[in-house]
Amino acid sequence: MGTEGWAQAWLGRWQLVKGVERQTHLRVSYFDDDTAAQIAFQQDLVRAATEPDFIHPCDVHKGRASLEVIEALCLSALEGKRISLPLPAGASGLTTMRERALGR
């Protein structure tokens, strides 16, 4: 629940309500292993929201660090040299690769 609406999730479907807009998404049934994974994910999500010291495995800081390593690998491949972390603001190996591929 937030300032612009609320969201609800169940195994196999979710609902998002923002103002007067309502979006519902239904999905095909999960396989047994998918159900177990979704249950674990949702339990971790609840823990992340209710336990201040719990860090979710999909934590944004871990994701950002992983993306920065991928960007550095791309830059390293393009420039043929070691790239230091943290990357300078705005540095993007993926964008540079895309621009070179498109001849920009």
Residue 81 lies in a domain: yes
How many domains is the chain partitioned into structurally? 2
Same domain, 46 and 64: no
Going by C-alpha positions, the residue among 46, 47, 43, 97 that lies closest to residue 73 is: 97
Q: Which pLDDT value is given to residue 12?
A: 64
Range of the domain at 85: 60-101
Please calculate the CA angle 92-98-100 and round it to the nearest 5 degrees. 100
- pTM to 2 decimal places: 0.51
Paired strand residues for 15: 8, 24
Residue 38 lies in a domain: yes
Q: Which residue has the tokens 């095909």?
A: 28
Q: Which pLDDT value is given to residue 82?
A: 95
> What is the residue-level pLDDT of the chain in tens, covering all 104 positions?
777 777 777 666 666 677 666 666 655 566 667 778 878 888 888 898 899 899 877 788 888 999 999 999 999 999 999 999 999 988 888 888 889 888 87
Measured CA to CA, the distance from residue 14 to residue 32 in angstroms comes to: 19
